[in-house]
Amino acid sequence: MLSILLIFSLSACKENKSTEELTKVKVAEVTRSIFYAPEYVALAKGFFKDEGLDVDLQTAWGGDKTMTALLSGGADIVLVGSETSIYVHGQNSRDPVINFAQLTQTDGTFLVSREKIEEFNWNMLKGSTFLGQRKGGMPQMVGEFVLKKHSIDPQKDLKLIQNIDFANVANAFASGTGDYVQLFEPQASVFEKEGKGHIVASFGKESGHVPYTTFMAKESYMKENEDIVKRFTKAIYKAQKWVEETDSAEVAKAILPYFEDTDVEIIEMAIDRYKSQESFALNPILDEEEWLNLQDIMKEAGEIDSYIDHKTLVNTEIAEEVSK
């Protein structure tokens, strides 16, 4: 009995010591979406813990709220659209926000129609009411970019609604506002299953590769915690490879705890959609071509006048090192 108690005691001490050795990292994500599947995989599969990190994940529900959390010290690292780092740079910040690990490489939203359409054509949006996303945010800018690509002037050819808070867009559509809406997964598939809407097009397929959501931190944090950032990026890369190599059904089961109110079949369907259009970045490197494409979209939306050099707000050294 004494030996059993001794073994149990030693095991408990070892477990407590292991827990104490984990470094806590406060992370804020812009929203909760299957679009960020590799992030949840890194948590669920213990990839962060393997790197000695205890990640405390919070959802901020909006790019502005996410960046506020970072700048105020409420978060060490944030997952948000790369455009937010450019906005902070434009305010002459003394502590710039640096993109260091890319998670998604396409837009993650889908065009959802209230009515079922057998053969969709983008011209059908002319004269309609389109419930878009917040002005200046990546979903809205990509949405307008795609509309213009199809010769639709978002300010003249349709009624564009973009004054609804990010977290309430889906509810507004469900309550009867708009003929079309721009939604992330799993909400788009949930609406389709419930008969509230029908997915007719993908903004991700239409817009090409962009650094849509990346992990970023203040420059000062990265200098003071280079090893933490490196270990964090290693965990993300491991998750990216796991998602790429794993069947969508297994990925869906892994991340189900982060979507308790969503059927696993819908999660699997959404992952399949994102995989088919290469939405999940295969590694954390944010390259110059994607950075340029991002700013092309921002310039087209009238949000920037000049381009920011890739090296100014992007650090690829860590991502390149862990990806070797």
Tens digits of per-residue pLDDT, 126-181? 999 999 888 888 889 999 999 999 999 999 999 999 888 888 999 999 999 999 99
Q: Rg (Cα) of the chain, in Å, rounded?
A: 21
- Decide if 236 contacts 25 (C-beta within 8 A): no
- Decide if 120 contacts 113 (C-beta within 8 A): yes
- Decide if 81 contacts 29 (C-beta within 8 A): no
Q: In the predicted model, what is the mean pLDDT of residues 20-45?
A: 95
Residue type, 185: E
- Is pLDDT above 60 for 110? yes
Domains in the chain (CATH in brackets) are 22-106+210-323 (3.40.190.10), 109-207 (3.40.190.10)
- Is pLDDT above 70 for 254? yes
Q: In the predicted model, what is the mean pLDDT of residues 92-113?
A: 96
Alpha helices in the chain (DSSP H): 2-21, 37-44, 47-50, 63-71, 83-90, 138-149, 169-174, 187-194, 203-207, 219-224, 226-245, 248-255, 264-276, 288-300, 310-313, 317-323
What mean pLDDT value characterizes the chain? 92
* Residue length of the chain: 324
Q: In the predicted model, what is the mean pLDDT of residues 31-38?
A: 95
* Residue of 103, 68, 55 lying closest to 228 (CA atoms): 55
Specify the pLDDT at position 167: 82
39-55 residues labelled b (16+ CB within 10 A) or e (exposed): bbbbbbbebbbebebeb
3-class secondary-structure state, position 304: coil
Residues 186, 188, 192, CA angle at the centre, nearest 5°? 115
**Dmax of the chain from CA atoms?**
81
To which H or E segment does residue 98 belong?
Answer: strand 97-104
Q: Comparing 15 with 207, which gets the higher pLDDT?
A: 207
Neighbours of 191 (CB within 10 A): 21
